[in-house]
Amino acid sequence: MSTSKKHALSDDESNAERTPIKHHLTPLELQKKQLDKLLEKIDKPVRIPERPTAKPINREPKDYVKNIQGSSAGAGSGDFHVYRAGRRREYARLKQMDEESKEEREQREYEEKIQAKKAEDEEKTEKNRNKRQRRKQRANNNRQNKKRADARSDDDDEGGSDKEDKEDKDDKDDKRSDQEGSDKEDR
């Protein structure tokens, strides 16, 4: 009985066995296979690796040096390729250092240019803001002066003589109080 269970295959396993395994897939079939695999577990998040920004050409220096020449050894014809490979690595290292310094300088210049442009824009914005506020203030003052002038003209039309009499009376009272204050100081 246990042997029959071992040999009995589930539906999934039987389907997997029936489909022939292809080793030489066309690009279209390969892409379809990859998409099918991704879509099997749709809830699982897919990690998409980021592309490296710049590959460092320079490798870490080796801990050991294999081709050591003694002081009495002459340069043989077999050592030229070793010299040339070392020279090529050194030139590549210098080129990379130059490129990095150039990129840093360009980045610094770009940042300075951006800062200068922002400062210029801010200055222009501030100037325009002040100009706008002065124009608004002038318009408000003109409106208020116009309202006052309209109110005075309305008062003059309705009998502005009462108002003028009141103002004259106030002026006389002020003069009297000033005279009384000066008389008290004299005493």
| Tens-binned pLDDT, residue by residue, of the chain (187 aa) | 444 444 555 555 555 566 667 778 899 999 999 889 888 888 888 788 888 777 666 666 666 666 666 555 566 677 778 778 888 988 998 999 999 999 999 999 999 999 999 999 999 999 999 999 999 999 999 999 988 888 888 777 765 555 556 666 666 666 666 666 555 555 5
The residue type at 64: Y
| Distance from chain centroid for Cα 115 | 13
Overall number of domains in the chain? 1
Assigned domain for 43 exists:
no
Residue 85 backbone class (left: φ over 0; alpha: ψ -120 to 50; beta: rest):
alpha
Q: Which residue has the tokens 């309202």?
A: 147
Q: How far apart are the first and last CA of the chain?
A: 138
Assigned domain for 29 exists:
no
Q: Which residue has the tokens 């029959």?
A: 4
Assigned domain for 153 exists:
yes
Assigned domain for 136 exists:
yes
Assigned domain for 12 exists:
no
82 touches 67 (CB < 8 A): yes
pLDDT at 65: 66
| Beta carbons within 10 angstroms of residue 82's beta carbon | 13
pLDDT at 85: 83
Assigned domain for 105 exists:
yes
Domain boundaries, position 149? 92-170
Contacts of 79 (CB under 8 A, 6+ apart): 67, 69
33 touches 40 (CB < 8 A): no
Whole-angstrom CA distances from 16 to 22, 24, 25, 27, 39 are 13, 18, 17, 22, 17
Q: Which residue has the tokens 């390969």?
A: 30
Tokens of 60: 């870490």
pLDDT at 1: 45
Assigned domain for 149 exists:
yes
Contacts of 22 (CB under 8 A, 6+ apart): 29
Assigned domain for 98 exists:
yes
